[in-house]
Amino acid sequence: MSPDNTSSPDASSLHWVFGYGSLIYKVDFPFVQCAHASITGWARRFWQGSHDHRGTPSAPGRVVTLIPQARARCRGVAYQVEQQVFEHLDFREKNGYQRRSLPIRLEPCGAQVSGTAYVAETANHAFLGDAPLVEMARHILRCAGPSGSNRDYLLQLADALRMIGEEDEHVLELAAAVLEQSMGKEC
């Protein structure tokens, strides 16, 4: 991945943002640098409703959020951005997500930086919570919104995670269940 801009901004105006969902593969904002990264104490889960991107208000899709989980490690991508990028990200992540400050470990150097992740807490209006894997797969298969099908979101995320060497069991099992159910519909 390479930055969209070539200027050298003042270091005091730069901030790290941790991407663990579509921010890994849909980078529609300028950044100064990026690195594979991880956070600890958080797990990626398809427990957030999407009324505005991968679903509609009457049929929200399922997208990822971060859930506190002791000793968990979530890998993704960290982007160093200028302050004004948050205006775009705040709009993009508006459906129940809030900025949360947390430590991010950059790879492969292991440096720890302070950063921000967009987290949809359990009390937000669009939170769907846990469900059996088969039920979540069915839900994902029937939803679509202005940004495309919920199925594509899941499969693009699974591919992006594989590309950064992340074997997220929750995402990969859900992707396999969606593909299995998709095959059943085609027969």
Residue 15 has pLDDT above 80, yes or no: yes
Predicted local distance difference test score (pLDDT) of residue 183: 83
Does the annotation count 169 as an active-site position? no
Structure token digits, residue 126: 């669009």
Q: What's the CA gap between 178 and 138, in Å, rounded?
A: 7
Per-residue pLDDT of 53-77, as tens digits, reads 999 999 999 999 999 999 999 999 9
Among candidate residues 82, 87, 93, 107, the one labeled active-site is: 93
Per-residue pLDDT of 71-80, as tens digits, reads 999 999 999 9
Nearest CA to 26 out of 153, 112, 140 is that of 153
Structure token digits, residue 169: 């069991």
For residue 27, the SS3 value is coil
- pTM of this structure: 0.90
